């Protein structure tokens, strides 16, 4: 894993009215790293991604991606990133290929480029055999995998994956794990949010544990577990319980 910092976030704050969604969040992500944001629903993970992907402007703090300021040079940032949101953004009446080609053209690819990228990315998520089938015929997990393929159409250097395995079947979950690991091995940087401890432990090179809008732990999974006991016996849920006094799933 390279040491070059590709994403730098410092002092991020975001409030919605009286509710402080993100409070003084700082971390860095290196190139070729899978960095996890682990925490319960409502911890602020999605708000952090929305700020980093230029959708929301921070109330305070600074974010740079690939050397570009997210607020001052958002156009350059958007060329570097791909975003896979929690919500599915698909046209169910279209085939998987047609969905990818449509979004690829929206991202600026020409027709040939979009078709080639669609083929590559459907193979990447294990759906090449269903390329011509309408998305409305797919399971929830397969739709999630199409959503990830769409996020890859612009050939991003940094991929944001926001809770990509919520409510899906084990086969699709394993496909997503393999896809993320392969992307990292190919040189991509990934920011992965989840509230599943096992996912963070398996996938993430480093992670930040979030609760109530703040980071309460930061390091490799093994480092975080070592802080409270034997890392071969302690779980990330034990770490969360130690820091907050409650279970992650409470």
Domain ranges within the chain, ordered by starting residue = 5-80+156-244, 91-154
Q: How far apart are CA 87 and CA 68, in angstroms?
A: 27
Determine the Cα–Cα distance for residues 89 and 143; give it in Å rounded to an integer.
9
pLDDT at residue 224, rounded to an integer: 95
Tell me yes or no: is domain 5-80+156-244 CATH 3.40.50.300: yes
What is the rounded distance in angstroms from the CA atom of residue 122 to the CA atom of residue 228? 42
pLDDT at 126: 92
Burial class (CB in 10 A: 0-12, 13-18, 19+), 90: buried
pLDDT tens-digit series, residues 195-227: 898 899 999 999 999 999 999 999 999 999 999
User: Which segments of the chain have a pLDDT < 50?
Assistant: 1-2
Q: What pLDDT score does 249 carry? A: 64
Q: Model's pTM, two decimal places?
A: 0.92
User: Closest Cα partner for 176 from 202, 138, 208?
Assistant: 202
For domain 91-154, is the CATH number 1.10.40?
yes
């Amino acid at each position: 894993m390279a040491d070059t910092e590709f994403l730098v976030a410092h002092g991020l704050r975001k409030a919605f009215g009286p509710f402080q969604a993100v409070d003084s969040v700082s971390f860095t992500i290196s190139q070729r790293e899978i960095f996890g944001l682990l925490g319960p629903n409502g911890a602020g993970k999605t708000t952090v991604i929305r700020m980093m992907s230029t959708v929301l402007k921070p109330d305070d703090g600074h974010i740079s991606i690939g050397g570009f300021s997210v607020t001052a040079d958002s156009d350059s940032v958007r060329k570097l990133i791909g975003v896979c949101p929690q919500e599915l953004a698909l046209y169910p009446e279209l085939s998987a290929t047609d969905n990818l080609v449509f979004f690829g053209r929206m991202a600026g690819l020409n027709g040939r480029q979009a078709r080639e990228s669609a083929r590559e990315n459907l193979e990447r998520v294990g759906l090449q055999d269903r390329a011509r089938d309408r998305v409305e015929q797919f399971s929830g997990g397969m739709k999630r995998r199409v959503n990830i393929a769409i996020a890859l159409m612009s050939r991003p250097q940094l991929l944001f994956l926001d809770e990509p395995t919520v409510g899906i079947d084990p086969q699709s979950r394993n496909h997503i794990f393999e896809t993320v690991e392969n992307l990292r091995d190919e040189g991509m940087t990934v920011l992965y949010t989840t509230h599943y401890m096992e996912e963070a432990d398996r996938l993430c090179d480093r992670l930040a544990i979030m609760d109530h809008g703040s980071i309460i732990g930061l390091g490799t999974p093994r480092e975080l577990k070592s802080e409270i006991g034997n890392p071969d016996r302690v779980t990330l849920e034990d770490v969360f319980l130690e820091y907050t006094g409650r279970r992650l799933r409470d």
